[in-house]
Amino acid sequence: MNVRDTQGIAAGAGHSDVHVPQIAPQIAALIERSRAAQQAFEFAGQSALDTAAAAAAWAIMEPGRNRELAEQAVRDTGLGNADDKVRKNYRKTLGLLRDLHGLKTCGVIARDEATGIVEIARAVGVVAAITPSTNPAATPANKIINALKCGNAVIVAPSPKGYGACETLIGFIHAQFAKAGLDPALVQMLPAPVDKAATAALMREADLVVATGSQANVRMAYASGTPAFGVGAGNVASIVTRTANLRDAAHKIAASKTFDNATSCSSENSVVIDDAIYDAMLRELAACGGVLLDAQQKEKLQAAMWTDGKLSARCTAKSASQIAQSAGLADIATRECAFLMVEETGFGESHPFSGEKLAPVLTVYRARDFADAANIVRRLYAYIGAGHSVGLHTGEPHEALTLGSTLPVARVIVNQAHCFATGGNFDNGLPFSLSMGCGTWGRNNFSENLGFRQYLNITRVAYPIAEHVPELDSLLGDYFRRFGQ
């Protein structure tokens, strides 16, 4: 019997004064099917777990299905562009397969003769996967593959806009499962229409919640009473120092800023440029398709992008030309601009360009020197984005250690296109993921890229070893010599 079942019996038997929200019959049925499937799957062996993960991966990677999912995602959500989503769906899944290949995720996974500890991988059970509209296929697929690899079942709660693409993805997964003789109940989703009440009920009844998307969903996951991993807010800044290769930096920032119309939380929202190379760097960004707005144009853009302090849907994840048209900047809209740039000096709510924009709009700050650049980033993240990541373009790689030691960030991305690198890439060692833990800075309980380890319990068997009791002086001798007893 599942722990939650015994808790429910106890609550019903001895705590009738405690209010337990009624579970909708549809969700209760989902959970029941999911638990039955998971309990059989968990002990099916490593080959079965690997087969299920592979089936889910190929469901999204096969070119025809990938294209269909990408086009449906853009059509339904109005966010991003299909060609970039095709690349994202494929590369993120391929990279995840690489990370998982050959890993043992059930049974005994480690033995340490010196300590007498044996580690046994155990599934967590039923996973509630909360997913965003910005990546309505790639993010569910990533979570599903990780969960299956570890012997779990998954119920996805997609965003309302992303429901159709997620439903199509799960249909593709079920078709692959049929070929492999796997139970389709291992991967399910909430029935439409998805609302907060249904999502909250799923969170309460699952064994683990993994939440990506709005901070409201993350907070709801943490408040659900179920163990949860949630991500922090993005608002990535990149620093360009006087020793950087400016052309290389500009091309990488432009590629990151424009990919999928900046739907990624890892796309740069700001670039902080050393005063010594400020004008030269702006010229390089312009050569990559960036258009710097003047003060009047910036004011028009701000009015179009924010309504009552909230980002406007008409600009979110749209192309630079579409955004310029919405802002009444017809002369710019008719040009072939890749992204818009605005200069800024302030931070906080009264300076909305200092926050996350989810659009190909890049805020530009001028810094006196490296120390000032780091301080500008610190002030940006004090507003939005603490814990996520910072980019650094420099000829002095040791500067990254300074940022990693002093800024509230979980990742420092050196001389790379940030939105590709921070979630893992084939030219760095970070694990592939679409969900970035931001540590306590971002009010998260982890600071790594969300991966398979978050979907596992580990049981440790402790065998007896030869006793070794240290002498007190070996541990406190230095303290005693310096300060006495």
The torsion angles phi and psi of 361, rounded to 5 degrees, stand at -125, 120
List the structure tokens of 79. 């966010």
Calpha distance 467→116 (Å, rounded): 12
Q: Which token pair is 256?
A: 């990151």
Give the mean pLDDT of 207-225: 94
Query: Token pair for residue 325?
Result: 């048209």
Q: Report residue 172 as tokens.
A: 């593709």
Query: Residue with structure tokens 């080959």?
Result: 47
Work out the pLDDT band at 128, boundaries 50, 70, 90. Answer: very high
pLDDT at 17: 41
pLDDT in tens, 282-306: 999 999 999 999 999 999 999 999 9
Residue carrying structure tokens 């008409």: 314
Catalytic residue among 106, 265, 315, 438: 265
Please report, rounded to a whole number, the percentage of residues in the chain having pLDDT higher than 70.
Answer: 95
Which regions of the chain carry the CATH code 3.40.309.10?
237-423
pTM beyond cutoff 0.95: no
Predicted confidence at residue 428, as pLDDT, reads 96
Nearest to 230 by CA among 138, 132, 349: 132
The rounded distance, in Å, linking the Cα atoms of 323 and 305 is 8
Confidence at residue 16, expressed as pLDDT on a 0 to 100 scale: 36
Q: What are the tokens at 374?
A: 């780091």
Token pair of 179, please? Answer: 């070929």
What integer pLDDT is reported at residue 21 of this predicted model?
57
> What are the phi and psi torsion angles at 234 (to 5°)?
-90, 155
Q: Whole-angstrom Cα distance, residue 281 to residue 245?
A: 10
Tokens 């580690």 correspond to what residue?
119
- List, for residues 35-76, the tens digit of each pLDDT value: 999 999 999 999 999 999 999 999 999 999 999 999 999 999
Confidence class of residue 441 from pLDDT cuts 50, 70 and 90? very high
Tokens 């005994």 — which residue?
Answer: 108
pLDDT in tens, 177-194: 999 999 999 999 999 999
pLDDT at 213: 87
CA distance 451 to 446: 11
High-pLDDT (> 90) share of the chain, %: 93
The dihedral of CA 369, 373, 378, 380: what is its sign?
positive
User: Is 150 a catalytic site residue?
Assistant: no
State the span(s) of the chain assigned CATH 3.40.605.10. 24-231+450-460
> CA–CA separation, 360 vs 319, rounded Å?
7
Fold classified for 24-231+450-460: Aldehyde Dehydrogenase; Chain A, domain 1 (3.40.605)
Listed as own residue / partner, the contacts of 469-476 with beta carbons closer than 8 Å and 24 or more positions apart are: none
Length in residues, the chain: 485
Q: φ, ψ for residue 76 (rounded to 5)?
A: -80, -40
Q: Give the residue carrying structure tokens 């900047």.
A: 329
Q: Which CATH class is domain 237-423?
A: alpha beta
pLDDT of amino acid 14: 36
* Closest to 122 measured CA to CA, from 387, 485, 455, 382: 455
Res 22: pLDDT: 64
Taking 50 as the threshold, does the pLDDT of residue 136 lie above it? yes
**Nearest to 202, CA basis, from 37, 9, 21:** 21
State both tokens at 84: 């970039």
Q: Tens of pLDDT along 14-36?
A: 333 434 456 688 899 999 999 99
337-391 per-position pLDDT tens digit? 999 999 999 999 999 999 999 999 999 999 999 999 999 999 999 999 999 999 9
pLDDT > 80? residue 392: yes
> Looking at residue 26, what is its pLDDT?
87
b or e along 312-346 (b: 16 or more beta carbons within 10 Å of the residue's beta carbon)? beebbbbbbbbbbbbbebeebbeeebbbbbbbbee
Q: How far is CA 451 from CA 111, 147, 152, 445, in A?
A: 22, 9, 14, 14
Check whether 9 has a pLDDT greater than 90.
no
Closest CA to 212 of 236, 187, 229, 195: 229
